[in-house]
Structure 1
């Protein structure tokens, strides 16, 4: 208990110092350009070269049809053949298509089994077109799979670790089509805040205007709402250079008062702006331990009608720790942490206290429970 209290104090005090010293961040770290994002592409293909761990043709008829179509395209007629190979698996191939990517660029791809294959380890993906939501082919994927897990099975035992039915191919797809690049012709841009906040939006606009007024003699930014800031590009500089200049500017983002609680791990994160109205807190815990120790009762030797029976033996122990009454209240993180540590709580106790404080209105912050 004492160890947790010391760790909580050390961690949150470090967070407080880090917040005070390193609160200023670059605009690029708290915003993104509207429209400048990745797109998703997808494809259907076959993985070959598996060691008897591929799809069964009876349970995965689409694998057999795909294999026949592929062989037909290569001049091999197997339409009337009874294919029973276990070295092939049908897969779905996915990838993120980055913004501004050019023809010939290689991108990473993910491969996942579609049928009943037990493992894709050692397999090779054959040429697979990858399409966007518009139905156009943007890349072609091919290569050997890297699979983290494995799956082995014998007559009486099987062993599996990780997921053997999915993997990835680094640089496994080559871009064949580019997205329309209108960035260089844009005259205005929109910066989207990663953590929407009215104060942060205004501070970003003010920082940009201070820079552009000195550099270009005009104010070029205007806060639109708590989520976005609109920019106009000056005529004598390229869009790329202008955005690079803006992203390097430093601002101090504002953060709401928030406490985040993860009940599964006992993690509690308290923001720097959290305030607690003065309250008296006491916390006690009761532990009830029930132990079952069944005992076997044997009959007397040479008894004719004796039977062995199991007799229950239950013991119940109750342990209750009384809590001390403490006064907690403060307008800064250090005071709050010191008040919580005086009680000497376990993580579950801290979570319970915070929930109760929120209920009575003493916690002046948003409480997020995950």
Structure 2
């Protein structure tokens, strides 16, 4: 009886172990399939593309800022400020004598710029930026007088007026010393312009809608079209090229708005970013994309330092000498030193993390990194587009 019981227990234990192993295998397969089917990264279409015809428009105008505390334009060097003020006074029935030239210190000529958003309607308020075009030291505390803002076609689309908000400050003393924080010759007027004219948009017209990608990519354009067709049926969208996707839309404007809102909410996994290295030679900024790869290469980089020290020597004439003069004899000490060149090696298929780690280990500066990347590109070891701006 005991032998039979032990046999049954061992058999059951063995069968339970086999079942547990089988379930573990199934769990591993399920987890692997879920990880494969789950997208790595997905963005909404509204973040990847813009609707054709829906855009902002630039506005610009010329105006006057008054009420400054003696920091305005100097009329001798900026005569157009006085001329503008005289023309404004004429419109109010005030005539300045021809032989009188006002010496203004509290006024400044400025340019006024603004961005007119898409679908902006008359009566809505937009922000404006005010910048001095003369020699005004500061426009802090000034008041922008009514300024018409025109578009590229010459029509007036907004009127600007209001108090200028300046984020910078400038202070100077009689000795010539001055302190400046940020820029005080430009500022903003929040809600300083009123829209007077609406810009016609092609969105309300019938026909297909076009999505223009923010970054042209054939893979992203194809995936956007596939996502729309998978949700709303085949033939709804088609990729025109690597930068545009055409979408069939209803004729009714209200339905087009709801239709485009639903399409922009779809999630799409964008294509991989191109292998690109962007170098700003002026600031020393280097941005390396995640897809950058380097083939096997060995890099050695060092720097040469030249130090020149001037130690002038004074030569005195002998005692009781006639006609002797004290002469300063220059003496230069030149030293040339070369820092130890560090060598590091990149293996096949080296990724971004390895590149950054290797450069940091040798203590290379941004300038050194730029030189290393340019040398790797010339050697054919850097498999990426090198963009220098």
TM-score by length of 2: 0.79
Correspondent of 2:239 among 200, 216, 223: 223
Q: Distance in 2 between the 1:49 and 1:334 partners?
A: 57
- 1:182-261 aligned at under 5 Å gives the runs 182-213=202-233, 218-234=234-250, 238-254=255-271, 255-261=273-279
The answer to whether 1:313 aligns with 2:332 is: yes
Q: Distance in 2 between the 1:325 and 1:167 partners?
A: 50
The answer to whether 1:283 aligns with 2:303 is: no
Q: Distance in 2 between the 1:58 and 1:348 partners?
A: 46
CA contact (8 A) 2:290 2:351 kept: yes
Q: Distance in 1 between the 2:109 and 2:354 partners?
A: 60
Correspondent of 2:105 among 86, 90, 103: 86
Structure 1 residue aligned with 2:388: 369
CA contact (8 A) 1:149 1:160 kept: no
The answer to whether 1:37 aligns with 2:47 is: no
Correspondent of 1:23 among 34, 41, 48: 41
Counting matched residue pairs gives 346
Q: Distance in 2 between the 1:345 and 1:86 partners?
A: 52
CA 1:36–1:272 in 2, change beyond 3 Å: closer, same or farther?
same
CA contact (8 A) 2:40 2:269 kept: no
Structure 1 residue aligned with 2:67: 49
RMSD: 2.8
CA 1:65–1:238 in 2, change beyond 3 Å: closer, same or farther?
same
Q: Distance in 1 between the 2:167 and 2:216 partners?
A: 38
Q: Distance in 2 between the 1:286 and 1:43 partners?
A: 52
Deviation of 1:322 (Å):
4.1
CA contact (8 A) 1:222 1:231 kept: yes
Q: Distance in 2 between the 1:41 and 1:284 partners?
A: 51
> Which one has the largest radius of gyration?
2
Could you tell me which runs of 5 or more consecutive residues in structure 1 were left unpaired when the two chains were aligned. Answer: 1-19
* Higher relative contact order structure (alpha carbons within 8 Å, sequence separation ≥ 6): 1
Larger mean CA deviation between 152-161 and 204-213 belongs to 152-161
Q: Distance in 1 between the 2:340 and 2:169 partners?
A: 49
CA 1:302–1:331 in 2, change beyond 3 Å: closer, same or farther?
closer
CA 1:322–1:71 in 2, change beyond 3 Å: closer, same or farther?
closer
CA contact (8 A) 2:53 2:203 kept: no
- 1:105-184 aligned at under 5 Å gives the runs 105-161=124-180, 162-184=182-204
CA 1:153–1:340 in 2, change beyond 3 Å: closer, same or farther?
closer
The alignment partner of 1:195 has SS state of: coil
Deviations 1:15-69, CA, capped at 9 Å, x for gaps? xxxxx98632221112111221111112222111111222233333322222122
CA 1:187–1:360 in 2, change beyond 3 Å: closer, same or farther?
same
CA 1:194–1:171 in 2, change beyond 3 Å: closer, same or farther?
same
Could you tell me which runs of 5 or more consecutive residues in structure 2 were left unpaired when the two chains were aligned. Answer: 1-37
The answer to whether 1:59 aligns with 2:62 is: no
CA contact (8 A) 2:82 2:104 kept: no
CA contact (8 A) 2:295 2:346 kept: no
CA 1:184–1:159 in 2, change beyond 3 Å: closer, same or farther?
same
Deviation of 1:167 (Å):
1.6
CA contact (8 A) 2:113 2:129 kept: yes
